[in-house]
Every structure is written in structure tokens, then in C-alpha cells.
Structure 1
């Protein structure tokens, strides 16, 4: 089997490639990236004979698709704004595909994947991705589902890379139409910082205030749980306190609208300037606490009894006590590892449905959990009667 690791010079998806090197049965692992110099550094770090490197530019669709042809799966680690193009390349190359973001730009290529007899799963990292597996694991134990609360704490610097800065700006864009909740059969648009909820995460994270975010789980779980008559789905998230304080201030002052200002005779977006500053600043690259924490709550009935299920995950500490999980890597490995697991499942042909397929229809939760446990990422489950 062969895997093409698109965008794997980045801080997150290089961890996906490391996981493939350590755990997968791929015979060829190709890193394809626009930044060839950085991709070569990643290959040198991996130090594995199966790994090679090629230059690729997904904005040149036909050329990029030709480079991808012959691979069993493309593991797409490109940023949100490129996912429409990158998915087009994968579809035209006739490969299976999976990416980290799943914000909907992929859907336009469904028919082409079907025509090619291939599967593409948008959004399979920690969130979205693992979160849907956790929600479905709980929901599958109920006859009916009333409420689903997907929450996560993403403890990382606000701008350790340009793509992460882009994600921050995207999720809190005041005009974003996809920031919705699912309530009584309808998707309802909400503004940034809507519906605050206190969510207790395991130590060292503790109690957090979380707000509605524009993630695909809202849409995909509404589809997957329609037969269980789901009534409410809310997806929330938070970053470190200093990140949230900054984003709140930018929102309150209208800066997240990215108004244009004139600098040296040229017009430029104010938020663009701030993002460029954060990427270069020490404050943008550091935070006090690193890691990832998922927390899913599902309320419903089983045999006429109302029940609440909670599932959350833990991983090795970021304090240096576990090799390979130090600092920022305790965040990036959490995101990157599920992507690698999904890529191998797709390459083996274990997902029968073709076209654009949501995670809930592609993968079995318990199979994903079993693989995560091999990487020291553990699930913890609790049930109470109401």
C-alpha cells in the first residue's frame, strides 16, 4: 500500500506521518508539500526508508492530481482555505482521501469520488473526527437521543503556524454562516461567544467556559442520529485563557471583521496584520498549558429510562515526563494521530461507502478507540440515570 501525505511538512501532519512510520503497514510513504525544504527536514527526522519527498502545488490541480495518481490514499493536512482545491486533486487522481478540517468545501466533489469508486472522509483529527466517534459510541447505547454536547479544550499557542492563525480567525469570524446549533430539526445560526457553558475537563485543565464553534459535528451528528430523534446538538470549544481573552477583545472592537486600513499607501486587512504579527511573536508561539481534551455528553433514553453518558479522553502529560509528548507535541500528536489511523483504514478498503462520507458512516468508534489506546490516548466513560 502507498500513502501520499499532503502538507506533511506542517507541525500537525508531520505527526501523522510519524504515526504511519511507527504503526502502519504502508510500503511507501510520500510527503508532498509546497515547502520542499521543510518537507526534506521532516523526512530526515523520520529516518525511514519508506519515506520520500516531492514538491506539489494543489492550486495547479491537474499537475497535482497527476503526482498523486497510483497512491491508495491521500492523507490531506492542508489548511482550511485549500481544502476545496486539495479535495479536487485527490478526486481527479482517483485516490481515497481524508483531511483534518471538514468544513464543507469537499462536498462538491462527491460525484467524482463515486465515479472513481473511492471514498473521501472530511474532518478526521481530534475535533472533528474523534469527537463524532465518541458521540456515536454513547448514542449507540441509547434507544433515543435528546441532547448531544460536544466540547473540547484545545490547549496550544494562538499562532504557532499560519494555518492555526487562519483557523482562529475563521472560527470567530462574525459573519460566518456555518456557526450553528441543531435544535428541534433546524440549524440555527449564532454569533461568536454564543451559549457559554461550563465544562469540567480532567486535570490539568479543570473547569472551562466554552462557546459555540463552527464545527462539522453539528451537521454530521444531526444526519447520523436522525433515526434516534435527536433534538439538540451543540458543539463548543475553548483555547487557553490568554487566547480567549485576545479573541474576545478583537471581537468586541470589530477587528475580527478584518476591516481594511491603509499602510504605506496600501490597503490591508487589520486582522491580517495582527495575524502576521502573532506568527512572528513569542507571545503567539507560547502558552502555559499544552494538550487536548475532548468531552462529550449525550442525554437520551434506554428501555424507557432517561440516562446521561459522558466520555472524555486523556493522553500523556506535556511536562516532559513522557518522551515525544513534550510541550506543543502533546497538542499536535493528538490531532495528527487520528488522521493517520483513518488513512490506513481507508487504504485497506475497509470503508464500503463511496463518495464524500461523514466519519459516523465511515468508521467504527471502538476500532478507533482501540487504535488510539495503542498510542497512549485513552477513553473514559461514565453513565448516570436521570
Structure 2
């Protein structure tokens, strides 16, 4: 995901030095060689060690955290140990725990934009949707994740499965001023039409934080938003896989004894999906050769659907946000790096907002409380090839009814 952040920083930022810190030297060097800029260098890092992360950050002004979420505490501790850092953080887990450290971050002279990445786009979509109305009833967020089952990485595989784990209690909606959580997987079904190649799909609630964080947005409070929910859809192959896991009780299955060893049925299934994804994505190829099994490139389309009243008339505003292809300048790249630009580019854009003072907050904060100018954000993203599509608006609906 953060490969696109590095590439965009190389293309658009004025930073003097960009260090790619990773345990995977081979893939990191491929990206650095593709960029071919003396400002971009590699540094190995052991994410299990707070001290080693701090070693890499020592002397830096800014930080982008794209490490897997299990290393979040190490990253936060390292940032505090170094002090005086400004950064963006891709992770969106353990909200209360992370945000509870905001005061100590402020005391250390640090600013961290938490739950960054694709969430910046969905929140901005909600903001521009709310601007269409005097009063807002519903804000519906949609994540359209369109890639085949074998078009994946280890992290994406775990994320999709987490979204459908019946033991996860983070699937929520916000209604009448309260968070209603512990919604079951494949519930809150709603049919929604995405742009092609996704089209019309049945979407279901997912465990994204918009229902918890969007009520904090000034525009949501100003427009008296009543309900907020986030739904998503994956390609049919993914949906079939996740429903099969449910049907075989994989999430609660006991380990099995096999040939003298013990195996977890869910871990075995996940391992095979990850192995297929690793094999498919290992080779860096020209963009036109990435999607050899489909007529479209794997992509994510983010959308918002806002209903409310304007001058006493009911209306619906629908916004879609699509990603460009190719993003990496037509260079040889892996499929999942192209796919991940919808996450990586917001990291770069928002970090540059912080660097130039357009967002100036202390401590740890989220998009809703950052003071983000949504219009400027979309202008920056569109300058990079993303497209904001307005499908419906109250004005259009009113003229049609007449």
C-alpha cells in the first residue's frame, strides 16, 4: 500500500530525503530502482523492536507508518522516543487505545494523523455529500473492493476475513446519537450501484470506523446527521470464499490432528489464499499484462450516498471516487501495488498537507477532527488521476420531478 505513497512523494513532494524502511530488502529495492532518485534510499528495520524503529526515525522530520497493525504499539513508542515528529498512520485498529495517547504525543511535540489512507477519501466523500443539504438523515459509505480471490496479499487476505469474522464486534452503525455495534456479518444488506467494472451489487455492513468517527466531523454535527453506516462488497469469488468459511464453521473450529501435527482449519485455508496471491504478485510486469485473467484491473471504488432535505425538498447525493490506472507511470510493477494506490496516495497528500501547514494539529487525531479541506483534498487527488463522480444531487432530482 505504501509503495504508492513513496512513488507519489517522489513525484510531487519537495522533501530532501525519503527513506524506505522495511524488512523486505528485495521488493523495496525494486521500488527504489524503479523510482531512480538519489533522494530515495533503503534502510532495513526490525518492526518487532521499538529501538530499531526509533533508530530509523532518528533525525527524521516526518513519518509514514504502513506497518501491519500488530506493530502499532512499537511504532507509537518509537515516535515518542524520538520526539518532534509529524506523521500519518495507515492503521485504524484499537481506536480508543491509540487516541488515548494523544496528550503524550502533544507533549513530545508530535502530530499523528491516525486512520489515514483510504479512510481519508471516504470521510471526505461524506463531507461533500453533507454539503448538499440543509439537514441530513443518512450517510451511507461504500467500499467496492474488486479483485479476484488470488489477487491478494497476506494483509488484504486477513483484512477481508476479519470483516466477516462472526466473533468481531466492530461492525456498527450510528443512529440517534448512539453507536450500535456487534452487527452480524453479511447483515444490513443494501443494493448499491457502483461505476463499472463493479456495477450493481448487494453490499453488507463491514467493520470500518466511519460510523464511530464521522459523527465527530463538524459538518455532520452542523447538518444533524441521524444515521451512519459503512457497507462493502468484494468480488464474487471472495464472497463465495467467506460464505464457505461460515458454512464450515471455520471461525470457531477446533484444531485438527493431522499426521501427528495440529492444524487450524481457518489458518490452512488462509495460507493457501495467501500463497496463491504471493505467487501471482511476485512478478513485476508492464501494466497491460497485470490482469491476464480479467478485462479490468483490480481496483477499489469508494462511494458515499447521503440523503437529506434541501429547502424543504428530499434528495439524495451520490459520490464515487475512482482510482487511476496505471499509477506508476507505466513502469513494470506488481498488481497489488497498482491496486493499493487508493490507500498510498492519500498518505502522501495528507503528509504534504501537514508539512505545508494546511493541517496543523497536535497529538493524535483522525480525518474528521483534522480540519481537512475536502475540496482541496479532491483537487490534489484528481491532479494525480483519481476521479470524483457526482451521480445524483438534490437539484437534479428536483428538476426531474417537475
Report how far residue 18 of structure 1 moved: 0.7
Contact conserved, 1:155 with 1:331, CA < 8 A, in 2? no
Report how far residue 185 of structure 1 moved: 1.8
Q: Say which is worse superposed, 12-21 or 76-85, in terms of deviation.
A: 76-85
Match of 1:179, SS state, is coil
| CA distance 1:81–1:251, change in 2 (3 Å) | farther
Match of 1:292 among 297, 300, 312: 300
- Is residue 50 of structure 1 aligned with residue 39 of structure 2? yes
Match of 1:147, SS state, is strand
Report how far residue 146 of structure 1 moved: 1.3
- Is residue 383 of structure 1 aligned with residue 390 of structure 2? no
- Report what 1:6 is aligned to: none
Report how far residue 265 of structure 1 moved: 3.4
- Report what 2:330 is aligned to: 323
Match of 1:70, SS state, is coil
| CA distance 1:110–1:203, change in 2 (3 Å) | same
Query: Greater share of strand residues, 1 or 2?
Result: 1
Report how far residue 317 of structure 1 moved: 5.1
Q: What 5-or-longer segments of structure 2 have no aligned partner?
A: 281-290
Hey, which bits of structure 1, 4+ residues long, moved more than 6 A? none
| CA distance 1:155–1:87, change in 2 (3 Å) | farther
Contact conserved, 1:147 with 1:232, CA < 8 A, in 2? yes
CA distance in 2: counterparts of 1:35 and 1:315, whole angstroms = 26
Report how far residue 266 of structure 1 moved: 3.7
Q: Say which is worse superposed, 207-216 or 114-123, in terms of deviation.
A: 114-123
Q: Render the CA deviation track for 1:285-309: whole Å, top value 9, x for unaligned.
A: 5874411111101112334433321
Number of matched pairs: 372
Match of 1:145 among 107, 117, 136: 136
* TM-score, normalised relative to structure 1: 0.88
| CA distance 1:133–1:182, change in 2 (3 Å) | same
- Report what 2:287 is aligned to: none
CA distance in 1: counterparts of 2:159 and 2:357, whole angstroms = 31
- Is residue 106 of structure 1 aligned with residue 110 of structure 2? no
- Report what 2:178 is aligned to: 186
- Report what 1:339 is aligned to: 347
CA distance in 2: counterparts of 1:346 and 1:86, whole angstroms = 19
Match of 1:129, SS state, is helix
- Report what 1:63 is aligned to: 52
Quote the RMSD (CA, aligned, Å): 2.5
- Is residue 124 of structure 1 aligned with residue 116 of structure 2? yes
- Report what 1:4 is aligned to: none
| CA distance 1:158–1:84, change in 2 (3 Å) | farther
Match of 2:213 among 215, 220, 242: 220
